Structure 1
Amino acid sequence: MISFIKARHFKWAIGLLLCLAIATVSYFLGQLFPIIGAVIFALLIGMLLRNVMPISPESQKGVSFVVKRVLKLAIILLGATLSVQSIVSIGMQSIFLILLVVIGGIAITLAVGKLFNIESTLSLLIGSGTSICGATAISVVKGVVSAKESITAYAISTIFLFNIIATLVYPWIARMVDLTPLQIGIWIGSAIHDTSSVVAVGFLLGDEIGEIATTVKLVRTLFILPLVLAIIFILVRKTKDEPVHYKQAFPIFIIGFVLMSVFYSFGIISDSVSAIFGQIAKFLVIIVMAGVGLQVDWRKFTELGSKPLLVGMIASLFVAIISFAYVWFFV
């Protein structure tokens, strides 16, 4: 029994070590080919390994730990590189756009889903993931509306596919367009679905863009809470039964991000320590992107129907275009 437990934990650690190994190789490749960048190398190497070699379920748990927990640590450390004034300023400049993205993205997804006769719960999950923060939003909303596991997996796979596409395409677009770092940061932070990809793409394009994109994304993530409350209000009116599992709607790690920013703003964290935290955070993001790549199983995407994929594509394009248009004309 003890040997079995040890073996299971060993396999769990293999997933974590695999992410670290990929990140280390990707870091040096990124130094050699900066136009591609370490995060893209980590994503591509992870995807390649995931689809050419078997990875045990226990090892995948280690990979999942990296994607979920290590990402949060990286974001908390990034808080030490930003002053409170910067966070407030960036948040104020992007708040209206975030409202457009969240409300418009969910509305468009529900409307297109209805047009294609897709189950409303699936459309809501896809819309929430596209408009707010990918799989995290889907998981929270799933608990509120008691969605079936099959529908939840379908929605997460759809969002995951377009998030990977965005991670690979957005850096290329950002280098082509004539936008300021502020505009690019706000665009990336408000358009890419998953937090890990926002942070990765942002810092791939530069520290300033990465800090702006991360801040915008965290403000956007906070909209999980009002969305959940709105769903609860609607369901209570319809069913008279209050849903459950909505306490997880508030992303606690954002408090850590803000606290680190407060410490930095008041000099508790010095500039030299801030720089060290920033470098550690950026390497942790590379590790996370390796984990994201290791979760890409192309066989799952072949099982998705065309209609949900089309809904996800339309939602992704809406968010991308409305965000780009806003920063082009108003930022």
Structure 2
Amino acid sequence: MSQSSLAIRLLPGILIAAAVAVLATILGGYFPLLGNLLFAILIGMLIRNTIGISPTIEHGINYTVKGFLKFAVILLGVGLNLHEIATIGKQSFFIIFTSVCLGIILTVLVGKMLKLDNTLSLLIGVGTSICGATAISAVKEVVKAKENETAYAISTIVLFNLFAFFTYPIIGQFFQLSETSFGIWAGTAVHDTSSAIAVGFLYGDQAGDTATTVKLARTLFLLPLLFLLPFIIKKSAKSKVNSSILKAFPWFILWFLLVSLLNTIGLIPEIVKIPLNDLSKFLITMVMAGVGMQVSLKELTKLGLKPLLTGLFASLCVGIISLIMILLFI
């Protein structure tokens, strides 16, 4: 497919996501307690579950969620320097490590108790604990998961990402978390990268920047997991692991670090920082509009109780463990 035909194919979905983002930004200005990000996801869900999304538009929506998010993250590096990133990394590493390990192990155990398929339990645990749909898509190749298992796991992640949008800022205010502490919590506990960053920005700009850094660090935990999985499940899947690592490696993190390095050494002019930062936040609003337009309430009702209960446990487990550690150590 040529570049021009690909652009034409993607354009309708991208334009709709942009239009929703503009509307959400306007409404967020009138109702700041809700904010543009919540409006974006709610309007997106309303469109998906009333008017519907045609296959033509779906392509552009999916590209917005995946491609635009990466570009937005890279631009967020304009406002960060490597000293801040290193400091946040030191503060959050042990919390991330603990919540990732316990989240996966306990979710698989709960899945066994509920007599849920081991593969589905593992997918839910990995998606919840590391990086949502990205982790599930990478791990499914190694464990040879069925398509319906993958779809179920991703659906639970989508559902509890929505739960985080409405509850995390309220809980953060209840515990009087600082923006840094809340950003670490969002980056450690919210599942998908897009949702973790957006939940951070719901709380404040500093929380959003911190959540971005922590979530990117957490995403990297997918790589050692892919190495270890064949030994854990006692399957020979070396070629699958190598292939999955190449697909799963978040290369855009390197660009994020490069932009942060340029900012650290003073090569990014102050005059461009504010416009680029504003562009990044608008792109994140577009991404959340796209996320909303991917949520099919009809499909979520088909999940069944066991995957939902396992996903609920996994979400609560990661959220509570990381919150307790933040309250104790940060």
TMscore range, shorter length: over 0.9
Code of the residue aligned with 2:303 in structure 1: it is L
Superposition misfits of 4+ residues, deviation over 4 angstroms: 8-11
Pairing 1:1-331 to 2, within 5 Å after superposition: 10=8, 12-235=10-233, 238-244=234-240, 245-246=243-244, 247-331=246-330
Deviation at 1:62, TM superposition (A): 0.5
Instruction: Give the structure-1-normalised TM-score.
Output: 0.94
**Rounded Cα–Cα distance in structure 1 between residues aligned with 2:7 and 2:282:** 24
Ranges in structure 2 where 5+ consecutive residues have no aligned partner: none
Could you say what secondary structure the match of 1:179 adopts?
coil
Pair 117,69 (structure 1): closer, same or farther in 2 beyond 3 Å: same
Deviation at 1:203, TM superposition (A): 1.4
Deviation at 1:133, TM superposition (A): 0.7
Deviation at 1:10, TM superposition (A): 4.9
Deviation at 1:174, TM superposition (A): 2.1
- Alignment size in residue pairs: 325
Deviation at 1:102, TM superposition (A): 0.6
Alpha-carbon RMSD across the aligned residues, in angstroms, is 1.7
**Rounded Cα–Cα distance in structure 2 between residues aligned with 1:56 and 1:299:** 16
Deviations 1:133-155 (A, max 9, x none): 11011001111212111110111
Deviation at 1:241, TM superposition (A): 4.7
**Rounded Cα–Cα distance in structure 2 between residues aligned with 1:198 and 1:240:** 34
Deviation at 1:92, TM superposition (A): 0.5
Deviation at 1:329, TM superposition (A): 1.0
Deviations 1:161-199 (A, max 9, x none): 111111222122223321212111111111111111111
Contact map agreement 1:232 1:243 (CA 8 A) in 2:
no
**Rounded Cα–Cα distance in structure 2 between residues aligned with 1:104 and 1:325:** 13
Code of the residue aligned with 2:326 in structure 1: it is V
Code of the residue aligned with 2:276 in structure 1: it is F
Contact map agreement 2:230 2:237 (CA 8 A) in 1:
no
Moved more, 296-305 or 274-283: 274-283
**Rounded Cα–Cα distance in structure 2 between residues aligned with 1:67 and 1:152:** 18
Deviations 1:221-257 (A, max 9, x none): 110101111113335xx34453413222311111011
Code of the residue aligned with 2:56 in structure 1: it is E
**Rounded Cα–Cα distance in structure 1 between residues aligned with 2:209 and 2:8:** 36
Ranges in structure 1 where 5+ consecutive residues have no aligned partner: none
Moved more, 71-80 or 272-281: 272-281
Deviations 1:66-88 (A, max 9, x none): 00000000000001110000000
Pair 9,70 (structure 1): closer, same or farther in 2 beyond 3 Å: closer
Moved more, 159-168 or 238-247: 238-247
Deviations 1:18-62 (A, max 9, x none): 100000011011111111100000000000011000321121111
Deviations 1:294-316 (A, max 9, x none): 00110101111101110000010
**Rounded Cα–Cα distance in structure 1 between residues aligned with 2:18 and 2:216:** 25
Deviation at 1:274, TM superposition (A): 2.3
